[in-house]
Amino acid sequence: MDQFGTGVFTVNYGSNLDGSGGGIPQEAAAWVAYAMGDPSNKLALGKDASGHDGQTVSYWASLRSSQPLPSDDGMNFLRIGHPEKVLIKYWEVGNEVYQNGYYGGQGNEEDLHAPYPKDAKDNEKQRKKNPNLSPDAYGKALLEYSKAMKAVDGRIKVGASLDVPLSGDWNTADWLQDPITKKWVQKGTAEAAGLGAAHKDFDAGIDWDKNVLKVAGKDIDFVALHWAIGDTTAASKWQTLDNTKTLTEPEQGLPKILAALVEMIQKNCGQNAGNMQVLFTEMGIKSYIKVPDPIVPALFAADAYSTLIEDGVANIDWYDMRNGGFLDDANKPGPIYFALQMVRQMAGPNDNFVATTSSNSLLAVHAYARRDGKVGIMLINKDPKNNATVKINVSGANLAAAGVRFDFGKNNPGTQYMVPAVAADLGNSFTVTVPSYTITDLVIPKAQ
């Protein structure tokens, strides 16, 4: 049986092969054929509007299987000598398409479904509210892409690039988004007034998501979001990370985003709403923000990943591997890497989430009933100065008095967290102390 991974492949939506127009479904279908096709499959992918031949599934699959030619014909980069299929389950159409200029400004994502003016200063006049750049146009294209790609392999899932929706009633548009910082502010506030009249109706995320789903939501398989945290302090002139606000986002901001998204899916996707999956294909701290304490993004990452997994998100990717504490230029792991290892120490694939509660706003708790019969508990102390002494009560299983403990935090930031310590006096009710700014994992077997 074929085994699919959970990686996500993004196909080009913004431009065609010669840069004369928008992306084409035939190219996306060719990528599916290249990754997952059989060299014996003679299915023709068809020609695009300009007459470019998409070839056959066999053509692309044979390139994948072949060794490079002694004399490169321009296609050797696709000849990798890999006869086995590269099984990719999730295929996203476009990247941050909502930033294509439809809502004004320069636009951060290329989209040649409408031409660019010779002078960039004319973007607002020529591209803002251009119907060829609209969420409706993208939704219609999504359906064409999905049909072409699934004709090659019907097992794949095809999804949409959505913006992070704001919770609440998006029909009233009581909030505005700053097109530069992407921060949402409430209408009528001084911060909102500073956006200027040109952006008073800048509700791109709400409008984009709703209309894409209205057009395509009944027929696509997932939506992909990017979530970048940008909480900063006033004292730093909005340049330095606000540690407290950042660490409360998984419990305060994230549920609002997910609730808004679920409600929008239910309103617009009909019977397909129950099948729709959510992927966070980028998550992290905005790259331009100063991070004075590298342990803070790590604590955030462990909490956010655990929360999203518990909410059923199908895929989560930290957005910047080389910046902000994941890996350095020499591939040396940083705090975020270790924090996500702590998530894995707590639980593995297909382990069962256990509902938890915490009476301390600065202490997050996550727990899993594991397939090996053990219970994994993660405690995250978000207090920068004070240890947290916690009373744990576990119901539904008879737990042993001894287990193992892992700690990762500001006082043990390196690989020493990988060495488990014996934890005693556990069972179904016990007390544990978690140091400040620390993630503590407890893995407790069942009583014999």
Q: Residues 116-143: pLDDT tens digits? A: 999 888 888 889 999 999 999 999 999 9
Q: Tell me what pLDDT residue 183 has.
A: 56
Residue spans of the domains in the chain: they are: 5-350, 363-444
Q: Report pTM.
A: 0.88
**Amino acid at residue number 251:** E
Q: What whole-number distance in Å separates Cα of residue 185 and Cα of residue 223?
A: 25
Q: What is the distance between the alpha carbons of residues 356 and 380, in angstroms, rounded to a whole number?
A: 13
Lowest mean pLDDT among 242-246, 343-347, 409-413: 409-413
Residue 172 is predicted with a pLDDT of 31
Rounded distance between C-alpha atoms, residue 346 and residue 306, angstroms? 10
5-350 belongs to CATH 1.10.10: no
State whether residue 365 is helix, strand or coil: strand
pLDDT, the chain, mean: 88
What is the distance between the alpha carbons of residues 216 and 212, in angstroms, rounded to a whole number?
6
* Backbone dihedral angles phi then psi of residue 276, each to the nearest 5 degrees: -65, 130
Provide CB contacts within 8 A for 329, sequence distance 6+.
322
Rg of the chain (C-alpha set): 24
**Interatomic CA distance for residues 332 and 313, integer angstroms:** 28
Residue 165 confidence (pLDDT)? 84
Mean pLDDT of 231-246: 90
Query: With pLDDT > 70 as the criterion, what percentage of the chain qualifies?
Result: 89
**What per-residue confidence (pLDDT) applies to 201?**
39
Residue type, 345: Q
Provide the angle, in degrees to the nearest 10, between the axes of the packed helices 135-152 and 204-216.
Answer: 40
CA distance 120 to 232: 31
**Which pLDDT score, from 0 to 100, does residue 105 have?**
76
Taking the domain 363-444, which CATH number applies?
A: 2.60.40.1180
- pLDDT of residue 393 exceeding 70, the answer is yes
Q: What pLDDT shows up at residue 367?
A: 96
Instruction: Retrieve residue 78's tokens.
Output: 């696709």
Is the confidence at residue 161, as pLDDT, over 90? Answer: yes
Res 324: pLDDT: 63
Is the CB of residue 304 less than 8 Å from the CB of residue 255?
no
Q: For position 433, what pLDDT does the model report?
A: 95
Query: Parallel, antiparallel, or unpaired: how do β-strands 403-409 and 421-423 relate?
Result: antiparallel
Give the pLDDT band of residue 329 (cuts 50, 70, 90): confident
Listed range (19-33, 177-191, 215-229) with the worst mean pLDDT: 177-191
Gap between the Cα atoms of 178 and 199, Å rounded: 8
CA distance 213 to 264: 8
Average pLDDT over residues 228-249: 90
With a cut of 70, say whether residue 421 has pLDDT above it.
Answer: yes
CB atoms under 10 Å from CB of 128, counted, come to 14
CA–CA separation, 278 and 323 (whole Å): 25
- The yes-or-no verdict on residue 52 having pLDDT over 90 is no
Residue 262, token pair as written in the block: 């679920």
